[in-house]
Amino acid sequence: MSEKNLVIGVDLGGSHVYAGVVNMKGEVLVKKETDIDLSHNADTIIKESIIPVIKAAIEDNPFLKENIKAIGMGIPGNLDSARGICFFSPNFKWRDVYVTPPIQEALGLPVFMLNDVRSAALGEKHFGAGKGINNFVCCAIGTGIGGGIVCNGNLILGEKEAAGEIGHITVDPNGHLCGCGNYGCIEAIASGPNIARRGREAMEADKESILWKMVNDISEVDAFVLFKAAKEGDKTALKVWEETGRYLGICFAGIIHTVNPQRFIMGGRVANAMEFFLPALKEEIKKRARMVPPDSVEIVHAGLLENAGMIGAAALAYEKIGVL
């Protein structure tokens, strides 16, 4: 088997790091993973978790090591990707950490990094639901809400690489406190934990909801439980998802007026419940996005699934070395 141009894609998650050998078709040929001990400092995590798992992916594969040309990394947080610095990552509580220089020194390969959702947008552009689409917005909804914006075929980063932080668009000035310190961000309403919070609040007002029968304690209600209850036709759960769609629609309408995308690509675990919030989302867009033709924007599921982080990081590496 011959693969002349290969890269390593690294997905740095909340408690795991994944490293994969990825080819130019976006196929993950080798996949390695390890746990991250969040009690360790950044230097220890890089030296004892990230570098070893990348090294394992490079060495434990059936291809020539010489065919691996670069390493791409998707990292949650605010970055200076050119210098390889993570200014702040809420997942790891990192501040001003040099990420890529020690990895490059240890492994002898060029290392590139980008915010994880921005790199996921590159993955969708080359290998997923953004292929052949010049203007689209990736929206990943999970523990938080992140985004990546592609305009005229190019990923937009902005002055400080913050373009795409759609989770921190205010949709309710009187809303809940967000992790960023602002009130009423869409993330404080429609991220997984906040959908769960709203679900628990709605349960308290509806003692007949089947949600009470699905858990032993109200604290066990999360977005997945609400998804299952909606599948059962529970009115309380369905109302929570409808409200989620309305607030996402408010957010998306603003984005439509700003960057005029052809498509929204929805990823993250919460997107699995799209059937329950998409109608309200579309209705809100139609009501609010008055400066574009009705139904001119598609909303679709992400094309890349469980390996999206690695494939997106690999797309970054391929772009940087001029192969894609």
| Fold assignment, 132-301 | Nucleotidyltransferase; domain 5 (3.30.420)
Tell me, what amino acid is at 229?
A
132-301 has the same fold as 6-124+306-320: yes
Model pLDDT, residue 91: 75
Report yes or no: 265 and 298 within 8 Å, Cβ to Cβ.
Answer: no
Rg (CA), the chain: 20
Is the pTM of the predicted complex or chain greater than 0.85? yes
Could you report the average pLDDT of every consecutive run of 10 residues in the chain (324 residues)?
85 90 95 92 95 94 87 94 92 91 97 96 97 97 95 96 96 94 96 98 96 96 98 98 98 97 96 97 96 91 92 97 90
| Fold assignment, 6-124+306-320 | Nucleotidyltransferase; domain 5 (3.30.420)
Q: Of 69, 72, 58, whose CA–CA distance to 29 is shortest?
A: 58
Model pLDDT, residue 134: 97
Separation between Cα atoms, residue 55 and residue 40, nearest integer Å = 20
Residue by residue, DSSP assigns 47-85 as: IIIIHHHHHHHHHSSSS-GGGEEEEEEEESSEEETTTTE
3-state secondary structure of 109: coil
Domain assignments of the chain as residue spans, ordered by start: 6-124+306-320, 132-301
Model pLDDT, residue 257: 96
Separation between Cα atoms, residue 320 and residue 324, nearest integer Å = 8
